[in-house]
Each structure stands twice: as structure tokens, then as C-alpha cells.
Amino acid sequence: MSPAERRSDTSRNRRAGLLWGLLSPELRRRVDADLNGAEIEQLNRALRSYLKAGRAERLLTERELLARLRTRQSTWPAFLSFALGVLFFGLIVLHFVQRPGLPLWIRAELFTPLFVAALAPLSLYLLAPYRSRELFRPTFDWEKTAAAGLASLGLLWILFEIRVDGGIAFLFRPDSLSWTILFLGGLIGPVAEEVVFRELLPSLFGGAPHYAGHFASALLFAAAHVPDSPTMFFLHVLAALILSGLRLNTDGLFWPTVVHATANGGVLLLGI
């Protein structure tokens, strides 16, 4: 077999593996009845080959499959990111006008959730269309629920130590605009941060399960929250790794987002 034929065969197998992975559990069980064990194992190997491929190879496979299925990728997330970017830039300018003497690091911590929120729709646009639809699909079983419960407790303790959400309010006297920005960040922050830091950024590093990508993303997550000491940086990294572990355990962002939002809400209710 020539190199070109091998590449074509690999590409075909990965497309088959991707399509196999897209089937719902119910539909896959129905298809299983018409396949023998060797055929099922071949499809599973093809799926593993797709998952272990580099980002560029996976993207090529996804585009080839989309072309054959005649499915168009929606562009509205990219436009939404642009609109949010313009809106949040306007808020930054207005905040500079109203609070010109505020330290830059406090302003950076205040606006980081909004900056990430503007990137989140673009992140969904950059992901494969099938993946963005699967990300927030609820999954319920005792193992995932137990993992989410333990992660919530761990994250709540870390946020209690960091005092991220409420702590910034004690560093300066927030006016009405600052409170609005804090509220927006707390409302959309968990969803936006999970999309960017637990899905897009890790996927840029090699094949699944992207361990190196999750670690690198945890470092970026910590830096984005503008920690004021090495201890705070470490606690932010630990919080990110807990959420990444939950993301890997549940193969989606539903539980990480629920845990992130629950921990944030718990911190606020405790008056931190």
C-alpha cells in the first residue's frame, strides 16, 4: 500500500470512528445487533484513532465528515463573541471614566470573567459542531453524581480560602457599575470559563484525554484570576485541576459547570 493509500485509509477509518462515536447509546445498541464482534472492535479502534490524533488531524476528519453529511457549521457564535467583545470594551471604557484611580490589577480581576465570556462563543465556534452540542448534555449516574458532590466540596473549600468572588468587593468600594460587572461575571463566569479552560484550551494540546492541555490550561486559569501571592496561584491551579478532573470523568461540561456555579454561589451565600 502506497503512503497516499495509507493516508486515505486512515482518514476513512477516522471518519467512521467519529461517526460511530456520535451515535447515541440507544442507537448504538440497535446497530450492535447487526454487527459482529470484530466489526464492533474495528469501529472502536477507529474511534480511538480519531481521539488520539492531533488537533489538526481531528479538525480535518471533522470537516471531511461534515462535507459528506452536507452539514454547515453555524457562524452565530463567532458574531456573538464579537458583539460581546464590543459591549464589554464599552463597559471597560466607562469604568475607566468613572473610576480612574482604581489599581490596574483590581480592574483586571474585575473584568476577567467578562473577557472570558466574550471568548466562550468563539470557542464553541472553533469546536466541532457535534462536540459543541454534546458538551452540556446532562448525564446522571451515581458515579458522576458522587464525583460532582466531592468536587463541589473541594472547590467550595478552595474558594473559601481564595475568597475570589466576594473578596474583591472588599478591596475597593464598588459603585453601581462595579456591582453590575461583578454580578455579570458571577452569572456567566462558570459557563464561559468551563468552555474556554476545560474544553478549548486543553484540546489544543495533542490527542484525548489532553492531560498536558488540562495542566497548561490550569496554569492559564490561575494567571487569569490575577492571584496576589504564590499560595493564591497554587489554590487557583488546584481549583482548575479539580474541574478538569471532573471534565475528564464525565466527558462533558455539564457537571463541571454545575459544580463551578454551585461553589461560587455557596461562597457568596456564606458572605465571603
- The CA–CA distances, whole Å, from 246 to 3, 139, 220 equal 40, 12, 18
| pLDDT digits (tens), the chain, 272 positions | 676 667 777 777 887 777 777 776 667 777 777 777 788 888 888 888 888 887 777 777 777 777 666 556 667 777 888 888 898 888 888 888 888 887 777 787 788 888 888 888 887 777 766 566 667 777 777 777 777 777 777 777 777 666 644 455 445 566 778 778 877 777 788 888 888 888 888 888 766 678 888 999 999 988 887 777 788 888 888 888 888 888 888 878 888 888 888 777 776 665 54
Rg from Cα positions in the chain: 21
Could you write out the three-class secondary structure of the chain? CCHHHHHHHHHHHHHHHHHHHHCCHHHHHHHHCCCCHHHHHHHHHHHHHHHHCCHHHHHHHHHHHHHHHCCCCCCHHHHHHHHHHHHHHHHHHHHHHHCCCCCHHHHHHHHHHHHHHHHHHHHHHHCCHHHHHHCCCCCCCHHHHHHHHHHHHHHHHHHHHHCHHHHHHHCCCCCHHHHHHHHHHHHHHHHHHHHHHHHHHHHCCCCCCCHHHHHHHHHHHHHHCCCCCHHHHHHHHHHHHHHHHHHHHHCCCHHHHHHHHHHHHHHHHCCC
Distance CA 172, CA 202 (A): 34
In the chain, where the domains are located? 3-69, 76-269
Distance CA 244, CA 219 (A): 12
